[in-house]
Amino acid sequence: MSPPAVPDLSILVCAYNMARELPRTLLSLSHRYQRGTDGLDWEVVVLDNGSEPPVDAAALQAACPGVRVVRPDTFEVSPAAAINAAMRSLRGRMLGLWIDGARLASPGIVGHAIEAWRTDPGKVIGSLAFHLGPDVQMRTVGQGYDADAEDTLLRSVPWRQDGYRLFEISVLAGSSSGGWFGCINESNGLFMDRSLWETLGGLDERFKAPGGGFVNLDLWERAVAASGGQPWIILGEGTFHQVHGGVATNGPREDREAMRAEYAKIHGRPWAQVVYRAQYVGELDHTRFASGQPSALEPLRRVHSVRQRHFRVGLPPTTLARIQRATLATRYKGLRLAKNPFDLALYLRLLGTLRPATIIEVGTSEGGSAVWLLDQCRALGLAATRVISIDINPPSCDLPGIELCAGDAYHPEDTFPVALLESAPRPWLVIEDSAHTYASTTAVLRFFERRLKAGDHLVVEDGVLSDLAGEGYRALEDGPNRAVAEFLGRVGQRFSIDETQCDFYGPNVTYAPNAWLRCN
């Protein structure tokens, strides 16, 4: 009997208590899911590092026919030693490692990895990492993002038929925040020639932290060095992290700091970003390029997300900058209006459904927006709607039908016309559009928090400033968004984000991201 053929590639998937996530990962690594692999042969082996109950190999066959499961004789919280032992038992000339078995693969990752290996087998091959969800899971998990939320998200796209749709419901992981042409800190879909793995000695078993700590970062660093600082990076492909309670991704900051300290103790120096000059394999279409393109402003944000929703405005930076220039020049009846076309349409939509009896505007400028709001109400047949506009320096001109009041957004309790407001008929539409700072926005939100009643609406404008380039915008330090995030964290379910408004033209295509709010 002839010996079994040696596969081109052996992929080891490390798993611990991933009954929900593991079958999806294995499906994404199966022959029927991966594309561009005609004539290629690879095996998938699961390392069950102590799952309770143990991984059932037979139950996984439907997801990935031919998959094998191995279990070490003893279990440690770090999988390093078990992975090294399992790697020695694999048959492939090329090895792949999924150190976190909760990571789905895009459909071309195997074919492009083998293409790179055949071109230059002396180099390690890495892929970018993404997190499922609206933001990295280090933040969204604390906001309630869990398995149920993720299952709903995955059902929103036909990823089983087209794995590239996963790019639509994910964001770059922190380790890949530099994007397609930056330098990644680690690879969670890692490939290399068997001889390179053996030269490296596999994973460094001195890493004892739960989940291995920085052991994967250490492996990538050493593999890049052994590749002459010229690793392969697969363009247009990636791995997508499913939430599963892992210590590195879903654990508290304290755990990650302990991992960082372990690395420093082993190496005698702090961990530092690996810098290299990559070789590229693969291809990028528009959707995948956009998903893996980092925002220059993202690291400068003071707040990223709330209630599992990112604050990012869903418009390209160049388009948004052009809209902003035109918005600042927009006038109505000769008065400064300064509202973008999306929000003008969204306000008109809200006026038609809410039919407010009172509109309270904080921040008047020349009064253009107050006049526009009143005119739209009249056009909708809302003959009794009142507009109360408050500004620290209200315009001196007469605006028929509009009550102009002096008030300081930083000190609303002392300066706002409380008696006038308390007698105003409901429902209310309150628009906070004053100084755009954290202090002023917070003060206005606190003032109205206890005064708003079920059915009232509240809009906090200009969170978009976090998406606009310029020192003037940076000086505001995400004021509106920070205030909205804290407000929503404080009020619980009494207020909800009106997603039908925020996302009517696309995810947060508005100057009030996550800030069209409804009092319940």
| Cis ω for the linkage preceding 427 (within 30 of 0) | yes
Please provide residue 191's backbone torsions phi and psi, each rounded to the nearest 5 degrees. -135, 150
| 3-class DSSP state of 128 | strand
DSSP state, residue 234 = E
More confident residue, 248 or 415: 415
DSSP element (H, E) containing 238: strand 232-241
Domain boundary pick from 294, 325, 347:
294
Q: Does 287 lie in the same domain as 339?
A: no
DSSP state, residue 214 = T
pLDDT at 2: 53
Q: Does 229 lie in the same domain as 156?
A: yes
In this predicted structure, the answer to whether residue 415 has a pLDDT above a threshold of 90 is: yes
- Look at the alpha carbons of 447, 450, 453, 454 in this order and tell me if their dihedral is positive or negative: positive
| 3-class DSSP state of 508 | coil
Task: Give a three-class secondary structure readout of 27-66.
Answer: HHCCCCCCCCCCCCCEEEEEEECCCCCCCCCHHHCCCCCC
Entry pTM: 0.87
- The answer to the question of residue 4 being in a domain is no
| Range in 16-20, 285-289, 433-437 the model is least confident about | 285-289
In this predicted structure, the answer to whether residue 246 has a pLDDT above a threshold of 70 is: no
Please state the separation of Cα 138 from the chain's center in Å.
Answer: 10
Q: Tokens 């995810």 identify what position?
A: 507
Query: Which value, to the nearest 10 degrees, does the dihedral of the CA atoms of residues 506, 512, 513, 519 take?
Result: -100
Over residues 329-358, the pLDDT tens digits come to: 999 999 999 999 999 999 999 999 999 999
In this predicted structure, the answer to whether residue 177 has a pLDDT above a threshold of 70 is: yes
The whole-angstrom separation of Cα 418 and Cα 221 is 62
Strands 279-282 and 305-306: unpaired
Q: What CATH number corresponds to the domain at position 274? A: 3.90.550.10
- Look at the alpha carbons of 412, 414, 415, 416 in this order and tell me if their dihedral is positive or negative: positive
Is residue 191 within 8 A of residue 94, CB to CB? The reply is: yes
Domain boundary pick from 235, 260, 294:
294
Per the DSSP assignment, residues forming a β-bridge with 255 are none
In this predicted structure, the answer to whether residue 252 has a pLDDT above a threshold of 80 is: no
Q: Does 461 lie in the same domain as 349?
A: yes
Q: Tokens 């300081």 identify what position?
A: 408
Residue 424: name the closest of 459, 453, 395, 467 by CA: 453
Over residues 452-490, the pLDDT tens digits come to: 999 999 999 999 999 999 999 999 999 999 999 999 999
The whole-angstrom separation of Cα 440 and Cα 325 is 24
End-to-end CA distance of the chain: 73
- The answer to the question of residue 324 being in a domain is yes
Contacts of 142 (CB under 8 A, 6+ apart): none
Q: How many CB atoms lie within 10 A of CB 254?
A: 8
Q: Does 402 lie in the same domain as 255?
A: no
Contacts of 204 (CB under 8 A, 6+ apart): 80, 215, 218, 219, 266
Q: What CATH number corresponds to the domain at position 321? A: 3.40.50.150
| 3-class DSSP state of 316 | coil
Domain boundary pick from 294, 322, 357:
294
- The answer to the question of residue 330 being in a domain is yes
Q: Does 470 lie in the same domain as 363?
A: yes
**Residue type present at position 316:** P
| Number of structural domains found in the chain | 2
Q: Which domain holds residue 311?
A: 305-519
In this predicted structure, the answer to whether residue 7 has a pLDDT above a threshold of 80 is: yes
The whole-angstrom separation of Cα 416 and Cα 346 is 27
Is residue 411 within 8 A of residue 437, CB to CB? The reply is: no
pLDDT at 319: 95
Q: Does 49 lie in the same domain as 18?
A: yes
Contacts of 406 (CB under 8 A, 6+ apart): 390, 391, 392, 393, 394, 415
- The answer to the question of residue 385 being in a domain is yes
The whole-angstrom separation of Cα 97 and Cα 90 is 11
Is residue 337 within 8 A of residue 398, CB to CB? The reply is: no
- The answer to the question of residue 80 being in a domain is yes
| Cis ω for the linkage preceding 79 (within 30 of 0) | no
pLDDT at 303: 93
